[in-house]
Amino acid sequence: MAEKPEEHRSTIDRSAFNIYCRIGSYKFCNFAYDLYLIIYMKQTISNRVQALAASQTLAMSQKSSELKAQGIDVINLSVGEPDFNTPDHIKAAAVRAIEENYTFYSPVPGYMSLRKAISEKLSRENGITFAPEQIVVGNGAKHSLCNVIMATVNAGDEVIIPVPAWVSYMEMVKLAEGVPVTVATGIEQDFKVTPEQLRAALTPRTRAVLLCSPSNPTGSVYTRAELHGLVDVLAERPDVLVISDEIYEHINYTGEPYVSLGSFAELEGRVAVINGVSKAYAMTGWRIGYCAAPTDIAKAVSKLQGQMTSGVSSIAQKAAEAAYTGPQDCVEEMRRAFERRRDLVVALASEIPDLKVNKPEGAFYLYPEVSAYLGKHFGEREIATDSDLAMYLLEEAHVATVAGSAFCTPGYIRLSYATSDDNIREAMRRIAEALAKLK
């Protein structure tokens, strides 16, 4: 299991403000920092970026790291990333790449050898045909997704996003001046959008639908039949692009093979598949993702990337190539560990009174409904919202989680269980204790 080097985990620089920051003065420091941002940014920062919400997953993780740096024993269940080290054969390929002088600019869409390896992976594992020319390697799946949105969404175009959804989807659409159209799903429907809901959300302005299975933040996985139901609705609208975020593909506990939306004949020529090595191969820091898309979209993404970032790290590309072409048993080993932890976290969460949990079939998140605790008090302190609850858990239980409102569904919190069994046990004990104190 990996020891994460905390000092390398910088996200937002609050250093000037957190030197003296202890839990007692924590709120004040953040308030001062936000005030500074409001005054300063009003003068210098574009409307586009001012309208953007900061990533709550990264912000909570950053807060947790800051408290840890002050010697507070925080268990971080906020950020979602595998806690395993990158497998040795992948690291060795990166070392070799350096020795063999893969140190020059790489082609904008990625080395052809990597795009061929991805094309073969898509055919072997997902039964879909994308030529290497239809694949563009990006700086993580996040970048690839943003590229596809920027390349396809015009001002005013609607993008349907079933929620809860990963924090960055809505913001990326807004960045493209599109309109995120959220469709609410709850725990009672296992957080899966139904064909009826999808049909009702489609309008003449719909440009794209963005789906994620297994889902972040809920861990829900659509069955083939459920996907079929959605595909039947989408078949009625051939002008709508389907963006399928498949980054958690391999973290699947259903016992069934993964079904990619790209494999449905009805959607041929209008699915952009987003994936990468971060989750399956424990490579979050290497920053390699890709989009596999219809040729015109792949070309547009490449053009955009050519002006904004160029080809991504040559060394990381060689490592990713080794991931796709090398032995795959590491993927299954990690999947098994996550499944065991899923069972543990579900069992422990189910013992906590009034916490409603479903059994996630994939990814490494639990998304309990916490509304029974909202409106309660800890002494004078009111826990009015899920964000208050997440902050209370951080400050009183020293467990970092992410509030459901960050994923467009207030009344929930997200727990990432990509951590050791001991951490899971201790975190759930602390959460149970802190919740029991609310009156």
Contact residues: ligand PMP, CB under 6 A: 80, 140-142, 166, 212, 216, 245, 247, 276, 278, 284, 289
Partner from ligand GLU, ligand PMP, none binding residue 161, C-beta < 5-8 Å depending on class: none
Minimum Å gap between C-beta 79 and ligand GLU is 4
Q: What's the min distance (Å) between Cβ of 84 and ligand GLU?
A: 15
Q: Which is nearer to ligand PMP, 117 or 141 (CB)?
A: 141
Q: Give the residue with the Cβ less far from ligand PMP, 81 or 226.
A: 81
Contact residues: ligand GLU, CB under 6 A: 55, 57-58, 79-81, 142, 166-168, 216
Among ligand PMP, ligand GLU, none, residue 411 binds (CB under 5-8 Å by kind): none
| Minimum CB distance to ligand PMP, residue 249 (Å) | 11
Closest distance of CB 208 from ligand PMP, Å? 15
Q: Which is nearer to ligand GLU, 111 or 166 (CB)?
A: 166
Considering beta carbons, is residue 134 or 139 the nearer one to ligand PMP?
139
What does 311 interact with, of ligand PMP, ligand GLU, none (CB < 5 to 8 A by kind)? Answer: none
Question: Whose Cβ is closer to ligand PMP: residue 166's or residue 324's?
Answer: 166
Closer to ligand PMP by Cβ: residue 111 or 392 = 111
Question: From the CB of residue 102, how many other CB atoms can be counted at a distance below 10 Å?
Answer: 18
Closest separation between CB of residue 401 and ligand GLU, Å? 11
24 Rama sector, left if φ>0, alpha if ψ -120 to 50, beta otherwise? alpha
User: Out of ligand PMP, ligand GLU, none, which partner does residue 110 contact, by CB within 5 to 8 A per kind?
Assistant: none
Indicate the pairing of strand 289-292 with strand 271-276: antiparallel
Place of tokens 């040729």: 295
For residue 155, the minimal CB distance to ligand PMP (Å) is 24
Q: 141 touches which of ligand GLU, ligand PMP, none (CB within 5 to 8 A by kind)?
A: ligand PMP
Q: Could you tell me the smallest distance in angstroms from the CB atom of residue 416 to ligand GLU?
A: 6
Nearest 5°: the CA angle 375, 360, 388 is 20
- Output the residue with the shortest Cβ distance to ligand PMP: 140
We find the least distance from the C-beta atom of residue 11 to ligand PMP, in angstroms, to be: 12
**In the complex, least distance from residue 247 CB atom to ligand PMP, rounded to whole angstroms:** 4
- CB-CB neighbours of 94 under 10 Å: 22
Indicate the Cα dihedral angle 334, 116, 315, 6, nearest 10°.
Answer: -30
Name which of 21 and 145 has its Cβ closer to ligand PMP.
Answer: 145
Nearby residues of 342 by Cβ (< 8 Å), 6 or more positions away: 219, 253, 359, 360, 364, 366, 417
Please choose which of ligand PMP, ligand GLU, none residue 62 contacts, taking the beta carbon within 5 to 8 angstroms, the exact cut-off set by kind.
none
Exposure string of 341-371, with b = 16+ CB inside 10 Å and e = fewer, is bbeebbebbeebeebbbbebbbbbbbbbbbe
Looking at the Cβ atoms of 278 and 305, the one nearer to ligand PMP is 278
With CB cut-offs between 5 and 8 Å by kind, which of ligand PMP, ligand GLU, none does residue 55 bind?
ligand GLU
Residue 243's binding partner out of ligand PMP, ligand GLU, none, with CB under 5 to 8 Å set by partner kind: none
